[in-house]
Amino acid sequence: MVQEQTIREAINFSGVGLHSGAAVQMRILPAPVGTGVCFRRVDLDGFSIEAVGRNVAKVSYATSLMKRGVLISTTEHALSALMGAGIDNAIIELDQLELPILDGSAKPFLDAIHRVGIKRQRRQRVYWRVTKPVEIAEGEKFLAVYPAERYSISYTIDFPRPIGLQSFDLDLAGDAYEREIAPARTFGFLRDERALRNMGLIRGASEENAIVLSDTGVKNGPLRFPDEFVRHKILDLIGDLALLGHRILGKVVANRAGHAMHTALVSRLLRDQSLWDESYISYEEPNSVGATQEVSPALL
């Protein structure tokens, strides 16, 4: 059976928030079995907010969590990296309301996880196996999950030029996430910059942490992938679906979706338990390879 996992050592990050522009210090810490992922505001006496769907607050240009009036913003990249690395339990400490954007992708988080290593824990991992189709539609936007034996995603986007129509299919097995998704960066159009800044957004955005697009092309190339934009949308989706609190077994199909629709799917699955059942898998997941077995009687 596949076991739960955590990181072997604490990891430190520093940077700025994409939207707040505020300097932030962040740590990812090992956590005991059954913890899941939990954020902790060290600037607010260690106030904790669980990374679960019931705490979703705002999802316009990023996914934010709130509990008893305390906010954690732009959670999706770190959650995506943890999911991609096969981490079930972790505590994320930060001294600001927004996570650091780093280079705009999940790669710095994932690289740091691999650097300190992964620890297998003494509990079997529970999956949510989707048993019935779930579909959400809003105009041309569409998001669905269908029964399947593995976790896979098919995503299509259609943005104004120079992006256009892009599609990508991903099976979350082996090192596919690390190779194909983690390096994909967030992006934005120069023509939207003033309006977004007037809304109090993207105050920390720069050419070092986002792909910047003019009407004619990419201003700060080269791209890491020709279709980096749709790959980043998959990165965001994986992070948002991590708010289920469990890894899923199902095929996700998205067309022009976004954070709001991603988290709406999370809410739908959390609300209706007839759509999934709890399951174990007996094969060793490829992204667990290299993890060390826990040998001490400690809780971690």
pLDDT in tens, 211-224: 999 999 999 999 99
Average pLDDT of span 42-46: 97
Cβ distance 133 to 145 under 8 Å?
yes
Cα–Cα distance measured from residue 206 to residue 83, given in angstroms and rounded to the nearest whole number: 26
Per-residue confidence (pLDDT) for residue 293, from 0 to 100: 56
168 Cβ neighbours under 8 A, 6+ residues apart:
154, 155, 180, 227, 230, 231, 234
More confident residue, 55 or 292: 55
Per-residue confidence (pLDDT) for residue 199, from 0 to 100: 92
pLDDT tens sequence across 147-190 = 999 999 999 999 998 999 999 999 998 899 999 999 999 999 99
Q: Name the CATH topology of 3-291.
A: lpxc deacetylase, domain 1 (3.30.1700)
Catalytic residues: 259
Long-range contacts of 214-218 (CB under 8 A, 24+ apart): 214/189, 214/190, 215/161, 215/162, 215/190, 215/191, 216/162, 217/162, 218/162
pTM: 0.94
User: What does the CA dihedral 133, 138, 143, 146 come to, rounded to 10 degrees?
Assistant: 10
pLDDT band of residue 288 (cuts 50, 70, 90) is very low
| 259 membership: H or E segment, kind and range | helix 259-271
Residue 43 pLDDT > 50, yes or no? yes
